[in-house]
Structure 1
Amino acid sequence: MSGLLGYAVLLLAVSLAMPAELFNEQSTHFLLALGFIASWRYTWAATHFVRSLIYRKWVFPRLRRQADDLGAAGLPSHAYLLLTSFRIDAETTIDVYRAAIEEAARTQIPITLVVSLVEMADQRLIKQLFIALAPPPHVKLAFIRIGGTGKRDALAQGLRTIQMMLPPPGSVVVVIDGDTVLEPHCLKRSLPFFKVMPEISAFTTDEVCEVRGARVFHDWYNMRFAQRQILMCSMGLSKRVLTLTGRMSAFRAEVATDPTFIRQLEADSIDHWRLGRFQFLTGDDKSTWYWILKNGGKMAYIPDVTVSTVESPPDGNFLRAATMLMVRWFGNMLRTNGRALALGPQKIGLFVWWTVLDQRMSMWTATIGPTAAVLLTLYYGPMALVVYVYWIAVTRFIQTLALLTARKQVSWTFPFLLFFNQIYGSLVKTYIFFRLDKQKWTRQSTTASRDMSAFSRRVINMTSFAMHATAILLFIACVATYIGIIRPFVNLPML
């Protein structure tokens, strides 16, 4: 809080020191020109913020009381914990599986841990840990070995194995990543929601993280998870979420073992008018989400149940690591965004549909401000840029304070990281939007390969570049017209 207090004092000092001449005609024109866009963006953010408070303070507490009142009767007949591990260090693996085995032992229902692995060393390590912990008889352990063909194959083989186990009615499947540590009693506190909310097909939970890297990575991840908590609570009010994260999501067994669900998870693909058909490499959480959305299912968010993830940035340099992660995250989002929109508001609900549409629009609207500030600075002088920088400093400080409703602590670096996420993230989104076929895992360094000729690949790359460049030039022209720098059709000669 000392850092935030210093930030606030600095803002106040700057505001008192700003001369009145700073707000000249050009800077005032700039603020008025951006007024409509700013009011739209901030009203939308405020809508999510208010909805998240309604969900956490009024709607969810009622659901929590109902779940707690059920007691042991709220638990499923059988729970299958599907865990996947690949190239995760031994220390993390021990933490993850120790927590899973101990949590299974605490939960007094039959639980089967289905572990999908590639390397024999991991299997030996987990088996030794299971023997050492000696869980009670209601906890079983099953291994699946795959050939290192990817997480989608690991999950699909795991679900088919559970399918062959013939889950009894009322069973659930909990999908857990190999770097996710279950918090004590998280199963007991979350699984009863399937009985409290019989209409839902799946749910996901809150996340906190242990970051292995520089302090900036720690702050960046924590800020993102705080934003995620607010957004997911807002979506929870509509009984939908925007992703069923692989870190920990639970599904009714009849959903998770549906052959079409497994097939979509294993070999999801889209047909693009320019890029052709290509399969998804990453984004399994978006495939499961889309399947439930397409089939009319509902989803829940459990904000008071937390899992802890071990985050290892893919690069020691913050900008390179952020770029690699954003390319993967935003690529997953944009590849599923279009087909989710095609389902229509009648299918998924107007608010959810509009939120998905906003994901696509925000990569352009979020950059109108800085683009306009740069153009006005080049055209009139630096006053507009100075005003814009101060405006950003104030608004991002307010947004940081809003994150205190989702987390007990925030950092003075959050205003800077919020702006970085907005601008740099939008640039990455626009890049990926025209290159949806570019996919790469960060941990495994696996890339998607396509069966096409070198000529076809060059044509696709050239058209991607041309369309991206054209979109950027058109965007700049539209912003310049909007703020009055360009006045079309004014001096055209008479015919």
Structure 2
Amino acid sequence: MTLPGHILYLLAIAALALCVPNSPFDNYSGALITVGTIGLWRYGWAATNIVRAMYYQKVAYPRRRAAAEAEYQRRGKRNHAFFLVTTYKIPAEISARVYRSVFEAAYRAKGGASVIASIVDESDRRLIRQVMTSVMAEQGAGAPAVHLQIDKIPGTGKRDALATSLRSIAALNPGRDDVILLVDGDSCVPVDVVDRSIPFFTDPAVGAVTTDERSETQGSRLFRDWFELRFAQRHVMMSSMSLSERVLTLTGRMSVFRASLATETGFIDMVRNDYIDHWRLGRVQFLTGDDKSTWFWLLKRGYKMLYLPDLLTTAIETQPKPGFFQSAGVLMIRWFGNMLRTNGRALRLGPSRIGSFTWWSILDQAVSIWTTLAGPASVLLAAVFVSAWILPVYLSWVMLTRYVACTIIMGARGRSFPISYPFLLYFSQIGGAFIKSFVLFRLDRQKWTRQTTEGRGAAQGIAQRWRAAGSTHMHALAVGWLVLGIAYIGGLI
């Protein structure tokens, strides 16, 4: 259902709006004005990022690419590329596709390439060598040599795997402008990724770049739609942030780093052993979120981090749980935990050090938790204490604004969208905000989707149980103050 579904959707919006009698909300005007003001701020912020993204994609980025490639050609030197691929508990058919893409890209690299594979299972060693032999045979007799090194480690987590193999690369003495591509074991890289990303490193201030992504999702239709929408939103936000030359994350699926930086002892140590000291939770050791650690290390030292929208990495996603909502919840807890554990220290760097727009964007990620929840909380209070007619008004407004947002977001992709997208967008916004509020008070709770590595705030001992109770208390208190504030503004108390 494509066009008929959209027509029915728009008719439903009109029907909901027209069924409401003359406004019964006069006694609640204060809250409506407040929520409207918050809404204007949120929509204004979204519009700002959309305009910035369009300018970056159409004007700024083509100029940057042309200048970078011209400088690279002028130098005449071809830099070496190191592919670091981490593989753990990934189906053989996916690993074969990923390593095929890596070896094809490695053989296309004009400055030569090395592949460092970090594995846990011995069966992966055989698979990797088979794929390399197959790709090498396809290249013919004149193919350049590609160095393969396999690092076998215990299954102690991705951070250990990255640190071990980064030390292996450091031992190979990479040049200043050589690059390291950190590749997840379920992500296929573009075949021309090396020669199209290396020119940007002619600017000595560039520390890393990351690429556009598309999802190849194995799971329910709703789960596939959700991932495709998230990647479309990512495309807009990454483009907007890259205009200020600092993206907000260096995606762990595939990002390219300056080798001389990624092999520094401090960089490797942060990947291996990152943490924050929390006033209530104590020392929180990072188990997940290596992409946030690498990002913060470069951000703190003032390096540029760019987005390349014309290179497309394919992420092969699998649904971690049987149900859509259960799967989305598990993933969002991990994603938002990584974000919130790092954002506080990034804010403390200050706008003068990381740029005003970057600093404000990080601050907005924290503030938007509560501004996003303010809307539905205000509507629910009005429905209970003033008039239930506010529910169809709010529903029609949500349906309209999310439909417009999806039209703009997918328009940037040059694609149409199924009518499930507006509902998924609203779910991501409201459900995501509540999950962020949950994680904000439980920063010590971490778990990988595939790995058994896990950190919990409430497992053993009196101290752990006390911290868990404190987290629940503070979360409930924060939500309670939000509701009381909205009720006060609305004149209900």
TM range, normalised to the smaller chain? over 0.9
**1:412: Cα distance to partner?**
1.3
Are 1:27 and 1:383, in contact at CA under 8 Å, matched by a contact in 2? no
Q: Residue 47 of structure 1 corresponds to which residue in structure 2? A: 48
Superposed CA deviations along residues 144-164 of structure 1, whole A, max 9, x for unmatched, are: 011111000100011100000
5 Å matches for 1:272-311?
272-311=278-317
Does the C-alpha gap of structure 1 residues 450 and 380 become closer, same or farther in structure 2, counting only changes over 3 Å? closer
Q: Residue 98 of structure 1 corresponds to which residue in structure 2? A: 100
Q: Residue 492 of structure 1 corresponds to which residue in structure 2? A: none
**1:452: Cα distance to partner?**
9.4
Are 1:76 and 1:170, in contact at CA under 8 Å, matched by a contact in 2? no
**1:11: Cα distance to partner?**
4.5
**1:132: Cα distance to partner?**
2.3
1:441 and 2:444 are equivalent in the alignment? no
Q: Residue 346 of structure 2 corresponds to which residue in structure 1? A: 340
Are 1:199 and 1:297, in contact at CA under 8 Å, matched by a contact in 2? yes
SS at match of 2:446: coil
Q: Residue 404 of structure 1 corresponds to which residue in structure 2? A: 410
Are 1:366 and 1:422, in contact at CA under 8 Å, matched by a contact in 2? yes
5 Å matches for 1:348-359?
348-359=354-365
Superposed CA deviations along residues 285-332 of structure 1, whole A, max 9, x for unmatched, are: 000000001111111111111100100010120011011001100000
1:193 and 2:200 are equivalent in the alignment? yes
Does the C-alpha gap of structure 1 residues 237 and 74 become closer, same or farther in structure 2, counting only changes over 3 Å? farther
Indicate which of 127, 130, 141 corresponds to 1:128. Answer: 130
Are 2:254 and 2:313, in contact at CA under 8 Å, matched by a contact in 1? yes
**1:276: Cα distance to partner?**
0.3
**1:479: Cα distance to partner?**
1.1
Indicate which of 164, 185, 201 corresponds to 1:178. Answer: 185
Q: Residue 144 of structure 1 corresponds to which residue in structure 2? A: 151
Distance across 2 between alignment mates of 1:35 and 1:221: 29
Q: Residue 60 of structure 1 corresponds to which residue in structure 2? A: 61
Distance across 2 between alignment mates of 1:345 and 1:478: 30
Q: Residue 5 of structure 1 corresponds to which residue in structure 2? A: 6
Superposed CA deviations along residues 96-149 of structure 1, whole A, max 9, x for unmatched, are: 001110111122221000111111000111012112222533311111011111
Are 1:3 and 1:411, in contact at CA under 8 Å, matched by a contact in 2? no
Are 1:173 and 1:252, in contact at CA under 8 Å, matched by a contact in 2? yes
Distance across 1 between alignment mates of 2:462 and 2:33: 49
Does the C-alpha gap of structure 1 residues 75 and 406 become closer, same or farther in structure 2, counting only changes over 3 Å? farther
Are 2:20 and 2:393, in contact at CA under 8 Å, matched by a contact in 1? no
TM-score with structure 1 setting the length: 0.94
Does the C-alpha gap of structure 1 residues 7 and 250 become closer, same or farther in structure 2, counting only changes over 3 Å? farther
Letter matched to residue 258 of structure 1: E
Structure 1: give runs of 5+ residues left out of the alignment. Answer: 487-495
**1:450: Cα distance to partner?**
8.1
Q: Residue 109 of structure 1 corresponds to which residue in structure 2? A: 111
SS at match of 1:81: strand
Superposed CA deviations along residues 270-297 of structure 1, whole A, max 9, x for unmatched, are: 1000000021000000000000011111
Distance across 1 between alignment mates of 2:288 and 2:310: 28
Letter matched to residue 102 of structure 1: E
Are 1:81 and 1:176, in contact at CA under 8 Å, matched by a contact in 2? yes
Figure out how many residues of one structure are paired with residues of the other and give that number: 485
Once superposed, what is the RMSD of the aligned Cα atoms?
2.0
Are 1:123 and 1:143, in contact at CA under 8 Å, matched by a contact in 2? yes
Indicate which of 472, 484, 487 corresponds to 1:465. Answer: 472
**1:455: Cα distance to partner?**
0.8
Superposed CA deviations along residues 311-362 of structure 1, whole A, max 9, x for unmatched, are: 0010120011011001100000000011001111111111111110111111
1:18 and 2:25 are equivalent in the alignment? no
Indicate which of 463, 469, 475 corresponds to 2:482. Answer: 475
Distance across 2 between alignment mates of 1:74 and 1:431: 53
1:390 and 2:391 are equivalent in the alignment? no
Letter matched to residue 328 of structure 2: A
Does the C-alpha gap of structure 1 residues 186 and 77 become closer, same or farther in structure 2, counting only changes over 3 Å? closer
Are 2:68 and 2:199, in contact at CA under 8 Å, matched by a contact in 1? yes
Q: Residue 378 of structure 1 corresponds to which residue in structure 2? A: 384
Are 2:184 and 2:253, in contact at CA under 8 Å, matched by a contact in 1? yes
Are 2:208 and 2:255, in contact at CA under 8 Å, matched by a contact in 1? yes
Distance across 1 between alignment mates of 2:263 and 2:411: 38
SS at match of 2:474: helix
Letter matched to residue 36 of structure 2: G
Distance across 2 between alignment mates of 1:452 and 1:315: 23
Letter matched to residue 358 of structure 1: D
Distance across 1 between alignment mates of 2:328 and 2:459: 30
Does the C-alpha gap of structure 1 residues 74 and 40 become closer, same or farther in structure 2, counting only changes over 3 Å? farther
**1:404: Cα distance to partner?**
2.4
**1:191: Cα distance to partner?**
1.9
Distance across 2 between alignment mates of 1:39 and 1:229: 23
SS at match of 2:455: coil
SS at match of 2:442: coil
Does the C-alpha gap of structure 1 residues 435 and 170 become closer, same or farther in structure 2, counting only changes over 3 Å? same
5 Å matches for 1:195-214?
195=202, 197-214=203-220
Distance across 1 between alignment mates of 2:367 and 2:129: 49
SS at match of 2:454: coil
Q: Residue 118 of structure 1 corresponds to which residue in structure 2? A: 120
Distance across 2 between alignment mates of 1:145 and 1:295: 32
Letter matched to residue 384 of structure 1: I
Letter matched to residue 113 of structure 1: V
Are 2:20 and 2:389, in contact at CA under 8 Å, matched by a contact in 1? no
Identical columns (%): 43
* Comparing 107-116 and 64-73, the one that deviates more: 64-73
Q: Residue 426 of structure 1 corresponds to which residue in structure 2? A: 433
* Comparing 385-394 and 6-15, the one that deviates more: 6-15
Q: Residue 275 of structure 2 corresponds to which residue in structure 1? A: 269
Distance across 2 between alignment mates of 1:32 and 1:109: 60
Structure 2: give runs of 5+ residues left out of the alignment. Answer: none
Distance across 2 between alignment mates of 1:321 and 1:400: 22
**1:411: Cα distance to partner?**
2.2
1:367 and 2:369 are equivalent in the alignment? no
Does the C-alpha gap of structure 1 residues 306 and 4 become closer, same or farther in structure 2, counting only changes over 3 Å? farther
Superposed CA deviations along residues 228-285 of structure 1, whole A, max 9, x for unmatched, are: 0100111001100110011111111111001000000100011000000021000000
* Comparing 343-352 and 11-20, the one that deviates more: 11-20
Letter matched to residue 106 of structure 1: R
